[in-house]
Amino acid sequence: MTPTILANAQLVLPDETFRGSLKIEDGRIADIAPGTSVPADAVDCAGDLVMPGLIELHTDNLERHIRPRPKVDWPHAAAIIAHDGELASVGITTVFDAMRVGSVPRASNDYPEYARQLASELLQLRAEGALRISHYLHLRAEICSATLVPEMASFGPEDRVRIVSLMDHTPGQRQFRDMEKLKQYVQGKYEMTDAGFEDHVSEMRALRDRHGEQHERAAVAEARRYGAVLASHDDTDAAHVETSAGYGVRLAEFPTTRQAAEACRAQGISVMMGAPNLVRGGSHSGNVAALDLAQADVLDIVSSDYVPSALLSAALMLGDLWGDLPRGVRTVTRAPADAVDMPDRGRLQIGARADVIRVHRVAGAGAVRGAWVAGRRVA
């Protein structure tokens, strides 16, 4: 592989920034040097930011591609390739594709089982070299479901499952404590009538009563079998966090209150919030604002959630908010890498994997002008 030199760039290292050059060779960062000179064989970055490739731990973007409308199942290979290309274009070089495990069999088929087939298709495309960036699996274990145990049993350590999150969407608690917000969300997504919504609430609560404790235990055990990091989801109070800590949770996705976020910090659990929440200035579900947690210094990691381009924007926003660009960038690079035990990426340092992006700042956002994954240019 021909060496690549990115020169005259504003390099974003873990704890500092400076004007300099970065050399990529054999898939690794071979050299970092200060200065503004541009060798004849180098790329002149003209002061653009050069930073680690972004690491996305929880995105629903693949689901959006395979199901662009309710009851529409888009051809999966095309959807996976489009999803992969979209992430590369916005600077994401490692992704943990979130897939729900745990379905609710219904005549309407609006909550079907899909993860095992989709994961196999994604892994096959990866094996064929059809994907640009690095893909891992994040299984969202839906506690309030009917089929969680057999679905999780169909996965193993060979499937690149690196995160399992405990998801409990029982109506009336966690993310959707506000039943009116839940009604708006469900009816909008599934085109559900008022009567249909009431039936949905009754069904989901009955499933939680019937299977909840068994499903939680099974999901924790399966995460250990895969060798995956365990995450909680939508913790609301200190009691939720205490339960999460007891299970060995290391990552808290989208705590809904400041109290829960502070309790996570006290337990040594990393706090992750959604970039759309930060960019929009608040939660679409009426929960705590990511900005409030950032200002209270209880925000560690950012996820693009449902808007891939929001990840870079959020990192730059946080850098501006804190007056510390490396700190903002760490929330989408080194911090997520550390949370899932990937010390080879998420930082600009000699010897690290050459997952690198070049970013031109445009107003408050950033435009990706180049992306390299293990030294290979992908965007």
Q: Phi and psi at residue 81, in whole multiples of 5°?
A: -65, -40
pTM of the model: 0.91
Q: What is the 3-state secondary structure (H, E, C) of 317-362?
A: HHHHHHCCHHHHHHCCCHHHHHHCCCCCCCCCCCCCECCEEEEEEE
Classified as helix, coil or strand, 230 is strand
Q: Give me the pLDDT at residue 204, please.
A: 72
Say how far apart CA 165 and CA 115 lie, in whole Å: 14
Q: Give me the pLDDT at residue 192, please.
A: 67
What is the average pLDDT score of the chain?
92
Say how far apart CA 19 and CA 17 lie, in whole Å: 7
Q: Give me the pLDDT at residue 107, please.
A: 45
CATH class of 54-169+206-344: alpha beta
Cβ-based neighbour number of residue 299 at 10 Å = 23
Band of residue 213 on the pLDDT scale cut at 50, 70, 90: confident
Q: For the segment 36-55, what is each residue's pLDDT rounded down to a tens digit?
A: 999 999 999 999 999 999 99
* Stretch 134-143: mean pLDDT: 96
Matching residue, tokens 């000699």: 350
| Percent of the chain clearing pLDDT 90 (strictly above) | 78
Those residues with Cβ within 8 angstroms of residue 243's Cβ, 6 or more apart along the chain or in another chain: none
Q: For the segment 329-341, what is each residue's pLDDT rounded down to a tens digit?
A: 999 999 999 999 9
Closest CA to 270 of 163, 347, 378, 112: 163
Superfamily name with CATH number, domain 1-52+345-379: Urease, subunit C, domain 1 (2.30.40.10)
- Ordered DSSP codes for 18-80: EEEEEEEETTEEEEEEE-----TTSEE-TT-EEEEPEEEEEE-HHHHHH-SSTT----HHHHH
Side chain identity at 1, as an amino acid letter?
M
* Residue 176 pLDDT greater than 90, yes or no: no
224-229 contacts, C-beta under 8 A, 24 or more apart: 225/156, 225/157, 226/155, 226/156, 226/157, 226/159, 226/161, 226/162, 226/164, 227/157, 227/162, 228/139, 228/161, 228/162, 228/163, 228/164, 229/162, 229/163, 229/164, 229/339, 229/340, 229/341
Q: For the segment 106-135, what is each residue's pLDDT rounded down to a tens digit?
A: 645 567 899 999 999 999 999 999 999 999
Taking a C-beta distance cutoff of 8 angstroms, is the pair 79, 41 a contact? no
Q: For the segment 215-257, what is each residue's pLDDT rounded down to a tens digit?
A: 999 999 999 999 999 999 999 999 999 999 999 999 999 999 9
Q: Give me the pLDDT at residue 180, please.
A: 65
What residue segments make up the domains of the chain, in order of their start? Answer: 1-52+345-379, 54-169+206-344
Say how far apart CA 126 and CA 120 lie, in whole Å: 10
Query: What does DSSP assign to residue 116?
Result: H
Closest CA to 163 of 266, 251, 92: 251
